[in-house]
Structure 1
Amino acid sequence: MSDGLNIAIAGAGIGGLAAAAFLARQGHAVTVYDQFEAPGPVGSGLILQETGLCVLSELGLRPAAEMLGVDIHRLWGVAAGTGRTVLDVRYEALRPGLKGVAILRPVLFALVYEAALTAGATIVPGTRILNAGASQGMLTTGEGKVLGPFDLVVDALGVRSPLSNLPRHKLPYRALWATLPLPEDGAFRPDALEQRYEGARKMAGVMPSGRATPEGPQTVTYFWSIRAGDYTAWKALPLEDWKAQALALWPETESLLALVTSHDDLTFARYAHRTHWPAVQDRLVHIGDAWHSTSPQLGQGANMALLDAWALSRAVAQTGDMHDRLRSFVRMRALHVRLFQTMSWMFTPVYQSDSRVLPWLRDRAAAPLSRVWPAPKLLAAMVSGAVGSPLQKLGLKPAR
């Protein structure tokens, strides 16, 4: 096999584009296939943790991401009925200077998209990938066209990837979200993701999410937790009735909710929990949500995809046949993936579920215990993605 490989990437999301940029920089012929005529982002604002920021540094994108994003130093959640603080994660508990950077997903997408093009990757829109021949390195489109052969095929098509037929556990709770202008009333902390809970059945969140352009206005992303089966009923409910519920949970969101004038202003986000094993099949490798997907409670999705992209590029740069290189990729990422899949599975029902017992325990026991050493440090490590030491394993250095 020659040093210059012919590589296909299915899916122009954050992970797929980052992988394309890294691999094209190594001199490989990289083609990214996306089903949309104009590839674009899907999803709300997100927090780039130190893990994802370190990967962006390798692409030269961290300064731009930090300029357009906003620094996050705390995750803070309050039980609406009692006023108890039931979630309080401070990044500095792990180490001084640590932070997250909240950013609009379209902004992050634009950065990695341009990086992939600049590196020399070819992006082919309007191509829906339906199947892959893992042993031959082939792809089949929705029109029946066969693409390839490729030395390597990267599945970056997300949790509903047709290149995987493994089952996924659809999570019972989803979210409605909207990106809105930052209110001028100062009701929300400028450096914190804030949440309000009523048990585990109702949750609202507000997160600063940066700006679309250097001169643009600051924004926030508003979240409302909703049971998946209740979405149709919510659409049929008069909007003012829902607003009354949301304001009862969190009165300070009135200035935000005034900007929501129709149901269509809120986007319904679906979540699923799945880990695709094996992550590698002959010449086919799964990355990002196509390999591991969870609820957004720990906020690791984009960060994990960026880590996968970097690890894959390091593995491909090694010597040996492709099978050995891809096995090296799995070794680099498997522990971190398993740890965060497990932690997400454990923590999600505490904040989004029909359980009465879990939020009761959360409010009365978990919250006080979380303030006792070493819990603050462990919580900060979880939220920042540091559990399992992925940066050290991948040869990345955190900012100081």
Structure 2
Amino acid sequence: MGVVGCGVGGMAAALALARRGHAVTLLEAFAAPRPLGSGLLLQPTGLAALKALGLDEAIRAAGARVDRLEGRDTRGRRVMDLDYGDWRPGAHGVGIHRAVLFDALHDELSPEGVEVVTDARIVRIESLAKPVLHDQHGRVFGPFDLAIIGDGAASTLRAAIRPASRAPIYPWGAVWTNASDPENRFAGALRQVYHRAEVMSGVLPVGRGPDRAENQVSLFWSLPVADLDAFLDGDFATWRDQRLTPLWPEAAALLAERNDWAGFSRAVYRDVSVGRWNRQACVLIGDAAHGTSPQLGQGANLALVDAVELAARLDRDLRPTAVVVRAWQDQRRRHTGVYQLVSKALTPLFQAHGAFWPLMRDLFFTPMSRWPGLKQLGVLLLTGALRLGRFPPETRP
């Protein structure tokens, strides 16, 4: 098996396949694989997939328990209030630094026999029925029984598999940074503050940082992609003191010792639409197949479930590989399709210019989200467990 991309989905697929006895080669474009981004929220579905990989306990120990999602506007009104306990007693998510999750997956690859080849940017796929992969240095890898393409929402290989695919950039992105929260003021919840729909800031507890520092949080600030460069060229102290502090003084206090933008990273998201994810024995996985806005925070979780369910399906289904992959995709789209659709519908309520969308949010979404039944549906969405059909045993949350 050949896997392209050393992200969450690619590494999880390589590990899941290797642990089921497959020979796996993982090809990574960078000379030194590295995680991109700051914190993420692992939902019960992602944790179930990590349990199937034998990594859930280590991740729970390194991360921070998250019991609810809270969102309020600058007038103090509660816009969102979702508690995992409304889905299942004791249920929770885990905030984790991306680098910590990356290391947990990456450290298992070599011991499980995965061959990791770095500085191998795949530029051409030959013979889709028995894929042969060519990198920028002219090296050739394969042929493989299956090529799994997990090179992210900005995939450079997606068009080779699905020429009619589309992946436009969402108009809104974000900047992220990590900070220390020694008094654990932000423990237990993902908290967000909104000014209409034009400003959204959030703080997620992530537990241990990559340097093993404890009580870490990830802070994000949402803004239009077109403004990212100008924003990061601006004066840091002016933004912190004149924009973040009036909006959310407790979050601004996390950055009190900062003098500049060092430690901030930018995030850009894509709305990926590909139709079928596979073409013969080549298949897209994770954000390369179904990337969406981060509004529901499901990207890494869906990629983990993709990987574990694909490996399990390949083991128990003895039909030709292309047929098995198509069956796996049909099953997965009953899950991923729900989140693509709902994420696209919800995004303008929290990231948009003007007064219309926040008015719709305040008049309809917020009151309705408190109704019995609809509140439980909201929690079901949050957990990642909303799926048309049952989860297979490997990923049942």
TM-score by length of 1: 0.93
Task: Identify the match of residue 69 of structure 1 among 53, 56, 63.
Answer: 63
Q: What residue in structure 2 maps to residue 268 of structure 1?
A: 266
Q: How far 1:258 moved relative to its partner?
A: 1.4
Q: In structure 1, give the amino acid aligned to 2:29.
A: Q
Q: What residue in structure 2 maps to residue 53 of structure 1?
A: 47
Q: What residue in structure 2 maps to residue 222 of structure 1?
A: 219
CA contact (8 A) 1:298 1:344 kept: yes
Q: In structure 2, give the amino acid aligned to 1:149.
A: P
Secondary structure, aligned partner of 1:55: helix
Of stretches 160-169 and 84-93 in structure 1, the one that deviates more from structure 2 is 160-169
Of stretches 163-172 and 65-74 in structure 1, the one that deviates more from structure 2 is 163-172
Q: How far 1:215 moved relative to its partner?
A: 6.3
Q: How far 1:116 moved relative to its partner?
A: 2.3
Q: How far 1:360 moved relative to its partner?
A: 1.4
Q: In structure 2, give the amino acid aligned to 1:157.
A: D
Of stretches 71-80 and 330-339 in structure 1, the one that deviates more from structure 2 is 330-339
Secondary structure, aligned partner of 1:158: coil
Secondary structure, aligned partner of 1:275: coil
1:88 lines up with 2:107 in the alignment: no
Q: What residue in structure 2 maps to residue 3 of structure 1?
A: none
- Structure 1 distance, partners of 2:218, 2:212, is 19
- Structure 2 distance, partners of 1:389, 1:67, is 32
Of stretches 248-257 and 342-351 in structure 1, the one that deviates more from structure 2 is 248-257
| 1:268-347 paired onto structure 2 within 5 Å | 268-317=266-315, 318-347=317-346
Shift in CA distance, 126/69, structure 1 to aligned 2, threshold 3 Å = same
Q: How far 1:331 moved relative to its partner?
A: 2.2
Task: Identify the match of residue 122 of structure 2 among 129, 132, 154.
Answer: 129
Q: What residue in structure 2 maps to residue 251 of structure 1?
A: 249
Secondary structure, aligned partner of 1:320: coil
- Structure 2 distance, partners of 1:384, 1:147, is 38
Q: What residue in structure 2 maps to residue 205 of structure 1?
A: 202
Secondary structure, aligned partner of 1:212: coil
- Structure 2 distance, partners of 1:159, 1:323, is 23
CA contact (8 A) 1:155 1:163 kept: yes
Q: What residue in structure 2 maps to residue 189 of structure 1?
A: 186
Q: In structure 2, give the amino acid aligned to 1:113.
A: H
Shift in CA distance, 263/353, structure 1 to aligned 2, threshold 3 Å = same
- Structure 2 distance, partners of 1:275, 1:57, is 29
- Structure 2 distance, partners of 1:239, 1:216, is 24
Which string of whole-angstrom CA distances, capped at 9 and with x for unpartnered residues, describes residues 132-185 of structure 1? 22234011212233322111100010111111122212111100110111143x
- Structure 1 distance, partners of 2:56, 2:229, is 40
For structure 1, which runs of at least 5 residues remain unmatched after alignment?
1-6
Which string of whole-angstrom CA distances, capped at 9 and with x for unpartnered residues, describes residues 246-267 of structure 1? 1111122232121432123311
Secondary structure, aligned partner of 1:42: coil
Q: In structure 2, give the amino acid aligned to 1:351.
A: F
CA contact (8 A) 1:159 1:291 kept: yes
CA contact (8 A) 1:206 1:222 kept: yes
Which string of whole-angstrom CA distances, capped at 9 and with x for unpartnered residues, describes residues 201-228 of structure 1? 1011111011037963210000001111
CA contact (8 A) 1:311 1:332 kept: no
CA contact (8 A) 1:52 1:307 kept: yes
1:157 lines up with 2:151 in the alignment: yes
Q: What residue in structure 2 maps to residue 25 of structure 1?
A: 19
CA contact (8 A) 2:130 2:146 kept: no
For structure 2, which runs of at least 5 residues remain unmatched after alignment?
160-164
- Extract structure 1 runs of 4+ deviating beyond 4 A: none
Q: What residue in structure 1 maps to residue 162 of structure 2?
A: none
CA contact (8 A) 1:21 1:121 kept: yes
- Structure 1 distance, partners of 2:210, 2:230, is 37
- Structure 1 distance, partners of 2:78, 2:260, is 32
- Structure 2 distance, partners of 1:275, 1:319, is 29
CA contact (8 A) 2:182 2:215 kept: no
- Structure 1 distance, partners of 2:105, 2:21, is 18
Q: What residue in structure 2 maps to residue 380 of structure 1?
A: 379
Secondary structure, aligned partner of 1:315: helix
Q: How far 1:393 moved relative to its partner?
A: 2.7
- Structure 2 distance, partners of 1:153, 1:396, is 22
- Structure 2 distance, partners of 1:386, 1:280, is 24
Task: Identify the match of residue 16 of structure 1 among 4, 7, 10.
Answer: 10
Of stretches 65-74 and 143-152 in structure 1, the one that deviates more from structure 2 is 143-152
Shift in CA distance, 231/338, structure 1 to aligned 2, threshold 3 Å = same
Shift in CA distance, 60/172, structure 1 to aligned 2, threshold 3 Å = same
TM-score by length of 2: 0.94
Shift in CA distance, 355/78, structure 1 to aligned 2, threshold 3 Å = same
Which string of whole-angstrom CA distances, capped at 9 and with x for unpartnered residues, describes residues 313-351 of structure 1? 022112121122112211220111111100110011111
Q: What residue in structure 2 maps to residue 4 of structure 1?
A: none
- Structure 1 distance, partners of 2:78, 2:172, is 22
- Structure 2 distance, partners of 1:288, 1:49, is 15
- Structure 2 distance, partners of 1:131, 1:356, is 47
